Chain A
Amino acid sequence: MTGVHVIALVSALATLSVIIELSRRRHLHPKYAMLWLSVGLVIAVFAISPALFNRGAHALGVISPPALLTVLASLFLLIVCVYLSWEVGRLEDKTRVLAEEIALLRKDVADESAQHS
């Protein structure tokens, strides 16, 4: 096992333990925990057996497996970022509706109490 693989394995294990700890403390929703746990697992598998990844890369006709790894990792992160933007937008919309609702309710309550006094 070369140095690179040790580093990869250590980061995979670190990722997994952080994710598990965060889920245990309920800081991470199951759907996101699932995502990052699978990422950690995939990294761990390839760290333990780099030959597996190399074989896959060669089967795809890729000459340099590390380049494939970089491309796949970037693509994956890009997709995650877009997904998170979508999620944030949705949350913003919901917060906005709640804020509107509160503003309208506050007005109703103020009118109501003005009527009774």
Chain B
Amino acid sequence: MTDVNRAEDRSRNVCVVIPALNEAESVGIVVKEAKAVLPDATVLVVDDGSTDDTAELAGAAGAEVISNPFRLGVGGAVRVGLRYAQSRGHPIVVQLDADGQHDPRDIPRMMRMLDPDGPPQIVIGARFAGAGDVSVPRARRIAMSLLARYMSRMTGERLTDVTSGFRVQNRAAVSIFARTYPADYLSDTVESLVIASRAGTVISQVGVAMRPRYAGRSTQSAWRAGAYLLRVVITLALAVIRRRPTSAEHEEEPL
């Protein structure tokens, strides 16, 4: 109980970033749950060009809402959230899916491992780390365990679920990412960890229970899972050979 209280004390320093695309059915519940766990936190829903009432419902549930002018993808939405948190001076940023698969009640346990003003640090809410239980196709499982093994070796830390969109990060980690968070599909989770790890970020994980999504379908046919495996391998290979990103804003004009 004590760490929950401590987390609540710190909750005004927290910005919960929830990227959302057409999640009207679940986003309100997720926002309310997050607010219940962290009453003083800023809950920010980044609406990534939804065509339903996601933005309105998030606002009605008490979230701050930013609407992207068009779809930027999960990575783009997260980057907007990180930049917002950074500009408003929040030292701790929680990243959470809007479909309800992550339980905000796990946040205090994740925050407990985090030093807000220390060196860059990310805590991943891992869905396969003992707690919870999910059924996914084999190819996807293989892809994820491959990734997990590689990332574990790279970070020297046992990681089991590197594609999780459930993360807590401190100020230093946010400032690494605020301008350069990778925007492409899969890169947003996989490549971001590679970038973070190379920049000296301490990456660790906490087991969390994954709940069935409140809404939305998970895209997991056998074919898709196979294609996913291939994409994972290529994304990872690219992430490893690519240089550290520089922001497009600071890019020099070629002559």
Q: Do A and B come from one complex?
A: yes
Judged by a CB distance under 8 angstroms, whether A55 is at the interface is no
Q: Please, what's the 1-or-0 string for A75-99, where 1 marks a CB less than 8 Å from any CB in chain B?
A: 0000000000000001001101101
A97 surroundings in chain B (CB, below 8 A): 247-249
B247 near A100 with CB under 8 A, answer no
Distance, CA A52 to CA B137, complexed state (A): 62
Q: Please, what's the 1-or-0 string for B47-67, where 1 marks a CB less than 8 Å from any CB in chain A?
A: 000000000000000001111
Judged by a CB distance under 8 angstroms, whether A107 is at the interface is yes
**Interface SS of B by simple majority:** mixed
Distance, CA A99 to CA B248, complexed state (A): 12
Q: How many pairs, one residue from A and one from B, have CB atoms within 8 Å of each other in the complex?
A: 42
A103 near B67 with CB under 8 A, answer yes
Judged by a CB distance under 8 angstroms, whether B84 is at the interface is yes
A-B contact pairs, 26 of them (CB 8 A): A90-B251, A93-B248, A94-B248, A94-B251, A96-B72, A96-B76, A97-B248, A97-B249, A99-B68, A99-B69, A100-B68, A100-B76, A100-B79, A100-B80, A100-B83, A103-B66, A103-B67, A103-B68, A103-B69, A104-B66, A104-B83, A104-B87, A106-B67, A107-B64, A107-B65, A107-B84
Top 3 A-B pairs ranked by shortest CB distance?
A93-B248, A107-B66, A103-B68
